[in-house]
């Protein structure tokens, strides 16, 4: 079950990433976050949701990893899952384009609900590279240590699991996932679903059907992408 206390991470992830919490970079990151809050800055997502992706998708249950960059920085948007927004929040443009591609690729109707939690419960790790952000200040918590932590998570999956699908949309995610062993895992790359780049090859990439074909070949239950 998801852990609800601030800063807690699922025991399966604690087992592989626990040492990271004692390293100097993480201590510095904690200090930075404390200073920002003390200065009255609003940080997203709330403390109990920072590790939401890990808490919904235990290490041994991961089938697919979709790498994002930053949490959303608008009011009520971020809840610790890349590309996802809570129930009742308007769909951001990239998520609208993801849904368009799913509908086209799999010939299914998407309801327009932007909460991707049902995917996480099927083994889709929705992992942002940076796990916090200041309100209305995109990228404000980059290069503070989160990238080191999320690199460690990807490295643990790369080495400790086999037959996963890593989905790398855009140059940022592709650089972050450059070390993934393509002999052990399926790595899918395309332009980002942002309106700035989706028409350059995200639309028509058929990656959602490719993910399910690969999972089936690996003997896993495919993902039900319909929301």
Buried b (16+ CB within 10 A) or exposed e, 62-81: bbbbbbbbbbbbbeebbbbb
Catalytic option among 70, 105, 115, 181: 70
| Active-site annotation holds for 19 | no
Phi and psi, residue 186, nearest 5°: -90, 125
Helix (H) or strand (E) holding 195: none
Strand order in the sheet with 124-128: 124-128, 64-68, 165-169, 186-190
How many Cβ atoms from other residues are within 10 Å of residue 26's Cβ?
17
How far apart CA 20 and CA 87 sit, in angstroms, is 32
Any idea which residue has 């495919």 for tokens? 222
Q: How many CA atoms lie within 13 A of 110 on its CB side?
A: 20
Q: In the numeric block, which tokens belong to residue 106? A: 């799999």
What the block records as the tokens of 117 is 């939690």
Instruction: Give the catalytic positions in this structure.
Output: 70
């Amino acid at each position: 079950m998801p852990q609800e206390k601030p800063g807690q991470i699922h025991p399966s992830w604690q087992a592989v990433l626990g040492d990271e919490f004692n390293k100097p970079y993480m201590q510095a990151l904690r200090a930075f976050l404390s200073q920002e809050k003390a200065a009255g800055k609003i940080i997203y997502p709330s403390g109990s949701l920072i590790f939401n992706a890990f808490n919904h998708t235990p290490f041994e249950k991961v089938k697919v990893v979709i790498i994002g960059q930053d949490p959303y920085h608008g009011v009520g948007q971020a809840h610790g899952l890349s590309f996802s927004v809570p129930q009742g929040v308007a769909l951001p443009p990239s998520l609208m384009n993801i849904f368009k591609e799913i509908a086209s690729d799999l010939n299914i109707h998407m309801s327009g609900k932007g909460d991707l939690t049902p995917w996480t419960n099927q083994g889709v790790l929705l992992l942002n590279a940076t796990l916090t952000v200041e309100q209305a200040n995109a990228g404000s918590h980059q290069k503070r240590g989160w990238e080191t932590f999320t690199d460690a998570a990807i490295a643990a999956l790369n080495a400790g699991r086999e037959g996963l699908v890593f989905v790398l949309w855009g140059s940022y995610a592709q650089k972050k996932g450059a070390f993934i062993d393509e002999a052990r895992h399926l790595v899918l790359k395309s332009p980002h679903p942002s309106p700035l780049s989706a028409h350059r090859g995200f639309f028509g990439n058929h990656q959602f059907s490719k993910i399910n074909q690969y999972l089936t070949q690996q003997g896993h239950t495919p993902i039900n992408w319909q929301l």
